[in-house]
A and B are shown apart, each in its own frame.
Chain A
Amino acid sequence: MDLLRHVRFFVAIAEERQFGFAARRIGISQPPLSRGLQRLEAELGVRLFDRGPQGVDLTEAGAALLPHAHRLLQAEQTLRQAARGEAAGRSGVRLGVVPQLPLAASARLASTAAARAPGRARGGVTLHTASTTALVEAVAEGRLDVAVVVHPAVLGSLAAGAVVRLPTALLVPHPVARGAPARLRELIRVPLAVPPREDNPPAHDLLVDTLDEHGVTAGTTRAADERAAVALAATGRACVLTADPAVGAAGVLRVPVPGDVLPLRLRVVAPGGSPGERPPELVAALTAALVEPAGTP
């Protein structure tokens, strides 16, 4: 029998307590799940669950074996992750970045990563752009070697470098009074275009709370990326917050955020915890590369 597959059944049923939920989670229908459990119980020679009208309960033997099942699946993960690491050694450094990262910074990151990866320079760097939530998941699952994400984010057990604050500017579609430094609430008079909340809920909520703290009442509107946001600004329907000096549009004013209270906070993350992982040196080097080099305009 395919023991790992059946052990996955065992763990799913133990966690969901109902065949229906467990089957949906695995992506099969209920009868094969039920048969699979029976086969596993026969193979192990113990009954793992008591079946009742409300669902299933672990037997004493099932409860005793569950931690072993968890360890087995964990070992499978470790094996797969190690294999992906070996495969990556031939394909170069897999670097993930958020779409808010300024173009110039992503170029600096790519060259730093290529130079810092010993024995990998020939393979070069592959750059993937995705939301913070997706990048954190990809690094945790071993699909990326390192990523630049927006802080604050839920990082689980990933290793992370220091927080880098990039100053931001507002693109506003309406006239701004000259002379006296404007207040944030006077600059943001139409909704601020922001990425979808699910891209990184804590960073989104921090932004919304900071707008409230500074008396901005125009609210926010969802824009999938900076292109969509700039399109909204160009048609007078939104303000845009950007850390990229290259982003702008005709008829739209670019104003630094007063007091730099809405910085783009970035953090380099890599797999953490287990020994033998990538040295944090790459994280530190990429963190340094995020900061604008002195002397650039």
Chain B
Amino acid sequence: MTGPQARIRELFAGAGVRGWLHAVRIDPDGPGPEVAVDPDGRVVMASVYKLPLLVAFCRAVDEGALDPVEPVRLLPEARTAGPTGVSAMSDPVTMSLRDVARSMIIVSDNAAADALLDAVGLARVHDVLRVLGLHATTVRGGTRDTYDTLVRDTDADTLQDAMSRLADNDRPADPSALDPLLSSATTGRDMTRLLTAIWSDTAASPAQCAYMRTVLGQQVWPHRLAAGFPHPAVRVAGKTGTLGPLRHEVGVVQYRGEPPVAVAVFTRAARAEVHLPAVDAVIGSTARVAVGALRV
């Protein structure tokens, strides 16, 4: 019999990924015991940056700087590309700021995220990182900025072209968008700290923290964190991130009648393919081992 850490390392190796994991129980009196595999290693965030952006938005609402029900008009020509949400649509869309934030989280809508970032401002995101003590996290911009860098670094003409270069097993690309020193990056420990703050009503006002927990619980993806917890006695709320070989999810797992556990799982796959279901699944299976070791 091996401990949770050794088991998690085996699962990562079997799925063909380098993996980073941090899980910590959110006890009523603060952070409880933890399970960790390289929890302080810095990893490019991909869409996980939308989580600190959500917190920055909620704090701006608390301060009265932004009105959550103010309508925003998202025009097709000015929207960031992406496979989901408003990014995937053809015509102008109008919705409230808080639904823009919701679409950013529940389907990882890139157009919504960049529109929200324009409204909130990068400075407020940096404030969140400072105030909540996320010292190993850097947010350098939105999805638009990442995509621009990616196209430039891969000498591609279009985003689609850049993405297909990332998916080539014969020519592994190493663009700066995948370099934690040059791109938005974080650690497992910083992301569980952020989730712990959201779950203990300290990331923003209790009302805004409740909104964030609801929205994170509405996320639709079943293939990563949630895949590790398939039965009705457990609830999973989270935010994924995907870019080239990177597949992540950070979230909170709560068994009925037990304290919630914050989990961050980051992976970098050896294979370049766009679809690697075994890698998606290992995010759930490693999280299950970690959470299992922390249940009371």
Contacts and interface: CB of A to CB of B under 8 A. Distances in A.
A153 B5 CA distance: 21
* Most A-side CB within 10 Å, residue of B18, B169, B171, B293: B169
B36 interface: yes
Nearest to A55: B33
B14 interface: yes
Contact of B16 (A18, A154, A160): A154
A217 to B, nearest CB: 20
Contacts of A58: 33
Interface residues of A, number: 31
Contact of A57 (B12, B32, B170): B32
Contacts of B16: 152-154, 201-202, 205
Contact of B3 (A22, A67, A133): A22
B215 interface: no
Contacts of A206: 169, 271, 273
Contacts of A24: 1-3
Contacts of A57: 32-33
A254 interface: no
Interface bin, chain B: 20 to 34
B126 to A, nearest CB: 24
A163 B169 CA distance: 8
A154 B2 contact: no
A265 B171 CA distance: 10
Interface in B4-23: 4-6, 12-18
Contacts, number: 78
A139 B114 CA distance: 42
Contacts of B36: 15
Nearest to A206: B271
B278 A156 contact: no
B38 to A, nearest CB: 10
Contact of A156 (B2, B18, B34): B18
A153 B179 CA distance: 19
Contacts of B40: 67
Contacts of A21: 2-4
A203 B17 CA distance: 12
Contact of B13 (A16, A17, A133, A209): A133
B231 to A, nearest CB: 23
Interface string B247-279: 000000000000000000000011111000010
Interface in A162-214: 162-163, 165, 201-203, 205-206, 209
A163 B33 contact: no
A154 B270 contact: yes
A160 B12 CA distance: 20
A142 to B, nearest CB: 19
Interface string B169-180: 111100000000
Contacts of A222: none
Nearest to B272: A152
Contact of B172 (A54, A67, A163, A201): A163
Contacts of B131: none
B270 A165 contact: no
Interface string B137-174: 00000000000000000000000000000000111100
A103 to B, nearest CB: 24
B211 to A, nearest CB: 31
B35 interface: yes
Contact of A201 (B14, B169, B170, B273): B14
Contacts of B296: 54
B169 A151 contact: yes
Contact of B169 (A16, A18, A152, A154): A152
A25 B32 contact: no
Contacts of B272: 152
Interface string A64-106: 0001000000000000000000000000000000000000000
A231 interface: no
Nearest to B295: A54
Contacts of B2: 21, 24-25
25 contacts: A15-B5, A15-B35, A15-B36, A17-B3, A17-B35, A18-B3, A21-B4, A24-B3, A152-B16, A152-B169, A152-B269, A152-B270, A152-B271, A154-B16, A154-B18, A155-B18, A156-B18, A162-B171, A163-B169, A163-B172, A201-B15, A202-B16, A205-B271, A206-B271, A206-B273
Given A15-B35, A152-B270, 4 more contacts: A15-B3, A202-B271, A205-B271, A209-B273
Interface of B: 1-6, 12-18, 32-36, 40, 169-172, 269-273, 278, 293, 296
Closest 4 CB pairs of A and B: A202-B16, A21-B3, A152-B270, A202-B270
